[in-house]
Amino acid sequence: MTPFGEKLRVHRERKGLSQAELAKAVGVSAAYLSALEHGYRGRPGFDLVQRIIGTLGIIWDEAEELVALARLSHPKVTIDTAGLHPKATEAANLLAKEIRFLPEKDLDALLRFLEKTRKSGPDSR
């Protein structure tokens, strides 16, 4: 499941809609919406995210969060380490190999570290 899919499910269930009902309302198939929630489909397009936000009545901070999560929810990531330090390539490959075995607490720590690095890095990326 992707961060977007997890949050989408929470909002959909909070609104009391089935996947089929939401899918029909936003103009996609129930199978596509299910795949999106379960992380078997890549990032949804901006227009679809906006239709979901409107249909579910999501406002302000929660809407911004859903848009941001959509950007970070591509389940098949490619990391280009060409031209970087060899340790960057080693780290990317090791993470790809081992991420499925990391406990949630370690993933939380890794995410906090990366978020801290992103906020303090050059031009705050």
Average pLDDT over residues 92-98: 95
What integer pLDDT is reported at residue 10 of this predicted model? 97
Q: How confident is the model at residue 120 (pLDDT cuts 50, 70, 90)?
A: confident
29: left (phi over 0), alpha (psi -120 to 50) or beta: beta
What integer pLDDT is reported at residue 36 of this predicted model? 95
Predicted TM-score (pTM) of this structure: 0.76
What integer pLDDT is reported at residue 122 of this predicted model? 65
What integer pLDDT is reported at residue 124 of this predicted model? 52
What are the structure tokens assigned to 56, written together? 């579910």
What integer pLDDT is reported at residue 42 of this predicted model? 83
pLDDT tens-digit readout, 30-77: 999 999 999 999 899 999 999 999 999 999 999 999 999 999 998 888
**Helical ranges in 16-103 per DSSP H:** 19-26, 30-38, 46-56, 60-71, 86-98
CA–CA separation, 120 and 7 (whole Å):
27
Kind and range of the H or E run holding 116:
helix 104-120
What integer pLDDT is reported at residue 103 of this predicted model? 97
